[in-house]
Amino acid sequence: MKIGFLLLSSLCSLALALPAGGAELVFGVSTGSAMPMTRFHGEELSGGLLKDVGDALAHELKLRPRYLTLPRKRVEAALAHGTVDLLCDLRPEWLDSPRWQWSETVFSNRMIIVGRTDTAPLGSLRELAGARTGTITGYRYPLLDHELGPQFVRDDTASDDLNLRKLLRRRFNYMVTNSLYYDYQRRAHAERARLSRAVLAVEPFDTYCALPPGGKLTLAQVNRALLALRKNGRMQAILATYQPAN
């Protein structure tokens, strides 16, 4: 309870201290993500890990945060055209251009295959061969492509939430997702009793922020700000609010 109060006080202080005007820091945010990463009100980002961390990062950099929501396929173009300054929660192999600069780790996560409580367990990725599998439009799954080749049968939709809905409606038996998303849904979703534990843990992965060379910020500035958020405990406090209690 004390931790929650301290975090609430910290976030309220942060909100009050955010610059009201002046230079902006524009984050590109994919509409394909969902809670705990993102909460949308219409087309506006209204909450979630990406907003909380983005607000804290902007505050550390003494800039005013703004969030531009985009379909997954358009986020890299926004960075290339200078429409946004940062894309966070990504990996180099998920984007096309090799020219982006990459920050230190922002989030640590795990790729997992999940199903319903009546879904058969999987011994390996090979057992997914030929099975229609829930995936997200515009997302890349290099390991599954490598392991399964043409037998990786994607069933794309716009977001994790829509995929979960299709899984529960038996449109398919398996979906690819990540542990941050799924652990949150297994304690918050209205039909959580029907959600199995991870059917198969695929691999751990870290995600980063991408920024253009010669952009508004240098890589060193972003990394210093991320380090400061870890040293002062703000990053850990933000993450703790979205993770299951022990």
Judge if 21 and 93 occupy the same domain.
Answer: yes
Structural domain includes residue 68: yes
Average pLDDT over residues 107-122: 96
The length of the chain, given as a count of residues: 246
Judge if 9 and 100 occupy the same domain.
Answer: yes
- Domain limits for position 75: 2-107+206-240
User: Which tokens sit at 129?
Assistant: 């061969």
Q: Give pTM, 2 decimals.
A: 0.85
Domain count, the chain: 2
| Choice between 91 and 14, residue whose per-residue pLDDT is larger | 91
Instruction: Give the pLDDT score at 7.
Output: 40
Instruction: Give the pLDDT score at 5.
Output: 37
Judge if 146 and 35 occupy the same domain.
Answer: no
Judge if 80 and 129 occupy the same domain.
Answer: no
Structural domain includes residue 245: no
Judge if 194 and 157 occupy the same domain.
Answer: yes
pLDDT in tens, 3-35: 343 344 444 444 444 444 569 999 999 998 899
Structural domain includes residue 41: yes
Is it the case that residue 150 has pLDDT exceeding 70?
A: yes
Judge if 130 and 172 occupy the same domain.
Answer: yes
Smallest Cα–Cα separation from 161: which of 138, 202, 140, 190?
A: 190
pLDDT band at 39 (very low <50, low <70, confident <90, very high): very high
Judge if 192 and 218 occupy the same domain.
Answer: no
pLDDT averaged over the chain?
Answer: 91
CB-neighbour burial class of residue 97 (10 A; exposed 0-12, middle 13-18, buried 19+): exposed
- Residues 6 or more apart whose CB falls under 8 angstroms from that of 62 comprise 19
pLDDT band at 243 (very low <50, low <70, confident <90, very high): confident
Judge if 196 and 212 occupy the same domain.
Answer: no
Rounded distance between C-alpha atoms, residue 43 and residue 241, angstroms: 24
Judge if 130 and 164 occupy the same domain.
Answer: yes
Residue % of the chain over a pLDDT of 90:
85
Judge if 171 and 210 occupy the same domain.
Answer: no
Judge if 185 and 230 occupy the same domain.
Answer: no
CATH number of the domain enclosing 60: 3.40.190.10
Average pLDDT over residues 62-71: 97
Structural domain includes residue 246: no
Is it the case that residue 182 has pLDDT exceeding 50?
A: yes
Judge if 211 and 231 occupy the same domain.
Answer: yes
